[in-house]
Amino acid sequence: MKTKRYLILPLAMLLLLLASCSSDDVSYSASNRDIRFSVSWGDAVSRATVTERDIIYPNSVVWAWASMINSADNNPATNTSSYFKAWHLKANADHSLQGVSVTRQFPAVNHLNFYAMHGDFTSGQITENTTAFPDEGLTFQVEPDQSTRDNYYLSDLVYSVYPDVEPTGIDITLPFYHMLSQIRVKLIAGDQLTTSDLAQCNVTLVNALYRGTFVPSTDADVFALQAGRASMVIADNNQRSDITLKNSTTSAFLNSNDYASAVVLPQTYAQGADMIRITLANNHEFVFRPSTALTLGSGKAYEIVITINDGHALGVITQLSDWQETTEDETINFESSI
């Protein structure tokens, strides 16, 4: 009997120990969930039609940061500390953002504030796991030659703020906004020109601001307003360049979705100032000048339809709905502009 008692007691203790380990394992897996991101535009979490222009271009570099809310009520505006520094993410074609070298996990209980950005930032400013959130700003540019798809997407500066996120096992859909401006140019052959004259033409934005500093705010209320987002972009007024929209295309702008397009810094073109230069295959040049001052706003898209007559280029400028809310930019035919 005594022997049986000694055998039963260790067995009971072993079972209790195993139960304790099992409980710890469940707790660990529940509180250490991988952080996974996907992309949306503006306030729209999902869209009925998704094309490649609804996503950050595949293989683009996105940088993310997180701060942890330390207050008991998880107030995103108070008592926060850095949770992780620069995290290198890669954009995928399925709208997800994937960690390149590491995965990251939520804390056990605390909520997180997330910040993420993509842009043509000056090399050397961001180092993974080392660079703290750049609240003093990052220098960036848009590419002077945007005749290729890659340079167009590289130029697109986008930013997202998503506060007060509780630990979760599902994807966090980050709402990105375009911080810069977009122009789209469509050409129409007028008097003494034919549509074939528009083939193999070059379209250039003249003397444009193309460098600046991005000073991102972590304040969700500032981020939610167009004026707040606009305040984060500071143009370098001493840095100008011509920006190529469309180079040696075979298109004659016959298709409804055939535009020359570029991402540009918010800026103003004065009334009568040279703005867009069109160079035909025979080297004849036409210059479009706005009839009134044109201010390109942050996150705004502008369509300029230019009719070219012999010796003149007259255009109609339309400000489209906010860039992130319009579906028209999904149809721009970049295949014909490469």
pLDDT digit string (tens) for 275-316? 999 998 888 899 999 999 999 999 998 989 999 887 677 788
Handedness of CA 152, 153, 154, 156 (dihedral sign): positive
Would you state the structure tokens that stand for residue 172, as one six-digit string? Answer: 């966090």
CA end-to-end distance (rounded Å), the chain: 89
Return the pLDDT at 44. 45
d(CA 125, CA 151): 20
Return the pLDDT at 73. 82
Return the pLDDT at 42. 67
* Residue tagged 């995290």 (tokens): 87
Lowest mean pLDDT among 8-22, 142-156, 239-253, 256-270: 8-22
Mean pLDDT value across residues 168-180? 92
Return the pLDDT at 311. 67
pLDDT digit string (tens) for 175-202? 999 999 999 899 988 888 888 888 888 9
Q: What is the pTM of this model?
A: 0.83
Return the pLDDT at 318. 81
Handedness of CA 59, 213, 204, 299 (dihedral sign): positive
| Dihedral Cα 57, 321, 212, 132, nearest 10 deg | -60
As a whole number, the mean pLDDT across the chain is: 82
Mean pLDDT value across residues 113-132? 97
Q: Tell me: pLDDT of 26 over 70.
A: no
